[in-house]
Amino acid sequence: MSKIRVLVVDDSALMRRVITDMLGEDPEIEVIGTARDGYDAIKKIHELKPDVVTLDIEMPKLDGLNTLGYIMSEVPLPVIMLSSYTREGAEATLKALEYGAFDFVPKPSGPISLDIRKVKEELIAKIKAAYRADLSRLKFLLPKRERKIEKVEKAPSLKVSAVVAIASSTGGPRALQEVIPKLPADIKASILIVQHMPKGFTKSLADRLDSLSQIDVKEAKENDILTEGTALVAPGDYHMVIKGGKRERR
């Protein structure tokens, strides 16, 4: 079986070396080259024709978002973004998913993460999933932004007509950005979302979905009350428990 040919793009020479060595330990993956910035990445993509690209968001000259925009418009490839655990990093990551990135993996401790091996299995799994992805589904997302309907402030009701539960992992953030904005403002259901995503990223995800949707979307807090027309996103590293009367459901 042929190996998955990967191009590693990062402005840090150390990160390029560590990620290359890490991926090379998997028998199904071959790192065919590295690039130090966006311009170098574009050149290497044309020369080497990789199957999957890992792309750092924060780079000089041509950053990850602009590089991704070129890749998806000119030479579409599955791309896994590598981002930092910062608010700016989370917002840029969500924008990258709109630009066509397959998924992302956060660096554990900033741009130069000496502990990058903590995410080795996650990165490898997402590279393999990206390799199998249908490129036609990774095109640029341009959600039709509906004007959010002004709602009359009302007291939360303990009764809801229905509860819709959504659990997602790899590829989930992108899928949520396609599904949630299409829900009508008057939906007679409360939506609960558990997305496998690091702590700190879920708040940005909820805010992003809220800005694109007619329903209200927010990151869940303890003791939130379910209401119709509202989606609650479980905070990163947490699951969600619903309590009602004497019954408890997970």
Residues 132 and 178 in one domain: no
- CA–CA separation, 174 vs 42, rounded Å? 24
**What pLDDT score was predicted for residue 157?**
52
**pLDDT of amino acid 146:** 47
Same domain, yes or no, for 56 and 109? yes
In a domain, 233, yes or no: yes
Are both 128 and 170 inside the same structural domain?
no
pLDDT at 92: 85
| 99 part of a folded domain | yes
Whether residue 8 is found in the same domain as residue 110 = yes
Task: Clarify whether residues 108 and 168 are in a common domain.
Answer: no
- Whole-number Å distance between alpha carbons of 30 and 221: 43
Q: In the prediction, which pLDDT does 249 show? A: 46
Number of domains in the chain: 2
Residues 232 and 113 occupy one common structural domain: no
Residues 205, 118 share a domain: no
Domain end call among 138, 154, 181: 138
- Predicted confidence at residue 150, as pLDDT, reads 54
What phi-psi label fits residue 237: left (phi over 0), alpha (psi between -120 and 50 degrees) or beta?
left
**Looking at the structure, do residues 32 and 121 belong to the same domain, yes or no?**
yes
Contact 144, 212 (CB under 8 A): no
CA distance 83 to 53: 14
Residue 238 structural domain: 163-249
Model pLDDT, residue 84: 74
Q: Looking at residue 223, what is its pLDDT?
A: 87
**What CATH number corresponds to the domain at position 226?**
3.40.50.180
Q: For position 86, which CATH number holds?
A: 3.40.50.2300
Does residue 29 sit in the same domain as residue 120? yes
Residues 130 and 67 occupy one common structural domain? yes
30 touches 3 (CB < 8 A):
yes
Report yes or no: 196 and 169 within 8 Å, Cβ to Cβ.
yes
Cα 172 versus chain centre, distance: 7
In the prediction, which pLDDT does 135 show?
A: 77
pLDDT tens-place values along the chain, 250 residues long: 799 999 999 999 999 999 999 999 999 999 999 999 999 999 999 999 999 999 999 888 899 999 999 999 899 999 999 987 666 778 888 888 888 899 898 887 666 676 788 889 999 999 999 999 887 766 665 544 544 445 445 455 556 789 999 998 877 888 898 899 999 988 989 999 999 887 778 898 999 899 889 899 999 998 888 989 999 999 988 888 888 755 444 4
Are 19 and 128 within one domain?
yes
Asked if the structure places residue 95 within a domain, the reply is yes
My answer on whether 69 and 183 are in the same domain is: no
3-state class (DSSP) for residue 79:
strand
Please indicate, yes or no, if residue 154 is contained in any of the structural domains.
Answer: no
